[in-house]
């Protein structure tokens, strides 16, 4: 099982890889830069090479990168859009340098201008980015994260994400990251067997489950369909231990990397959470959901 957490990469990425391994994690996620924006840190001499060597030695794979929260391709403000497009292009280049296969992106928030205009702006921005970066992308994929539908967020349903992918001509370099808290908050009852199956079937029918490459594994502090993005520790929220157990054992998801984005007081708690999730994998064979229909 590939289970990791969102860890700080301050200092350098080599130290971050060692920190992940010390917590008995075998995959990891980092922000590409300060989560509130700013310039991307320049890689130090030999840092990419040493990072790749450390990952291979410690069996740390995959490394997932995440754009900052300030990236908003759906914005109506030219400066915000300009930063967003530049940031995504730069961060995909960082993924290439670090041999990180995935860059996770929040699609954007439309600021009250409506979802149709939001989709159009997101598609235009990503088309420009993918066209510019394509010659040097070398296997690093952009993953659209499914959101909770909080405020004016775009991309909280398979249908909305399918609209973006369709506008990009179903580009092979663009995939999907699902977040269990987000989707539960959006109204998908992942805590039940039938609800989880129906959720995955809705993705299969609109996008294809083969486009899912990463799962953000989080419990939810808020109830079903709250439209509020409030993560909880595994088993301490509304999805609950049985719900998480079903998710990590579902035949459609079980081979994917799971990244914890749970609220901890100390990084050592990520190791404890990972051990709990592994125990759910080991004990959950009798509670797995049915696979989505063909």
Q: What residue ranges of the chain have pLDDT lower than 70?
A: 135-137, 284-294
CB 181 within 8 A of CB 229: yes
Tell me whether residue 293 is in a domain. Answer: no
Tell me whether residue 294 is in a domain. Answer: no
Tell me whether residue 292 is in a domain. Answer: no
Tell me whether residue 27 is in a domain. Answer: yes
Tell me whether residue 136 is in a domain. Answer: yes
Structural domain count of the chain: 1
List pLDDT tens digits, range 63-95.
999 999 999 999 999 999 999 999 999 999 999
SS3 164: helix
Peptide bond between residue 228 and the one before it cis (omega within 30 degrees of 0): no
What's the pLDDT at 160? 98
Tell me whether residue 205 is in a domain. Answer: yes
Residue ranges of E strands in the chain:
3-6, 27-31, 63-66, 102-105, 108-109, 141-145, 153-154, 174-179, 212-217, 219-220, 231-232, 258-260
What's the pLDDT at 41? 80
Interatomic CA distance for residues 75 and 121, integer angstroms:
8
Residue 85 is part of which domain span?
3-287
Tell me whether residue 134 is in a domain. Answer: yes
Tell me whether residue 213 is in a domain. Answer: yes
Question: Structure pTM?
Answer: 0.94
Q: What is the domain-level CATH number for residue 232?
A: 3.20.20.150
Q: CA-CA-CA-CA torsion for 106, 107, 112, 117, nearest 10 degrees? A: 170
What's the pLDDT at 242? 97
Angle between helices 13-22 and 47-58 (to 10 degrees): 10
């Amino acid at each position: 099982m590939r289970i990791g957490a969102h860890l700080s990469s301050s200092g350098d990425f080599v130290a971050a890889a060692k920190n992940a391994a010390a917590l008995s994690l075998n995959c990891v996620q980092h922000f590409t830069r300060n989560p509130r924006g700013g310039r991307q840190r320049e890689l130090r001499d030999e840092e990419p090479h040493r990072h790749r060597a450390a990952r291979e030695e410690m069996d740390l794979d995959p490394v997932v990168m995440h754009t900052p929260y300030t990236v908003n391709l759906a914005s109506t403000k030219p400066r915000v859009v300009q930063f967003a497009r530049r940031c995504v292009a730069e961060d995909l280049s960082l993924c290439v340098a670090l041999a990180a296969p995935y860059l996770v992106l929040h699609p954007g928030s439309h600021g009250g201008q409506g979802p149709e205009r939001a989709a159009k702006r997101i598609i235009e921005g990503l088309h420009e980015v993918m066209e510019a970066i394509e010659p040097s992308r070398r296997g690093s994929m952009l993953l659209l994260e499914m959101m909770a539908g909080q405020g004016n967020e775009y991309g909280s349903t398979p249908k909305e994400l399918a609209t973006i992918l369709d506008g990009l001509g179903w580009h092979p370099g663009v995939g999907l990251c699902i977040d269990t808290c987000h989707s539960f908050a959006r109204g998908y009852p992942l805590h039940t067997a039938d609800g989880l199956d129906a959720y995955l079937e809705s993705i299969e029918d609109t996008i294809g489950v083969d486009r899912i490459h990463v799962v953000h594994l989080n419990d939810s502090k808020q109830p079903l369909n709250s439209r509020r993005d409030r993560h909880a520790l595994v088993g301490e929220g509304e999805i609950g231990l049985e719900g998480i157990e079903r998710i990590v054992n579902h035949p459609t998801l079980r081979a994917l990397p799971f990244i914890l984005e749970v609220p901890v007081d100390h990084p050592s708690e990520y190791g404890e959470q990972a051990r709990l999730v592994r125990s759910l994998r080991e004990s959950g064979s009798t509670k797995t959901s049915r696979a989505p229909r063909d």
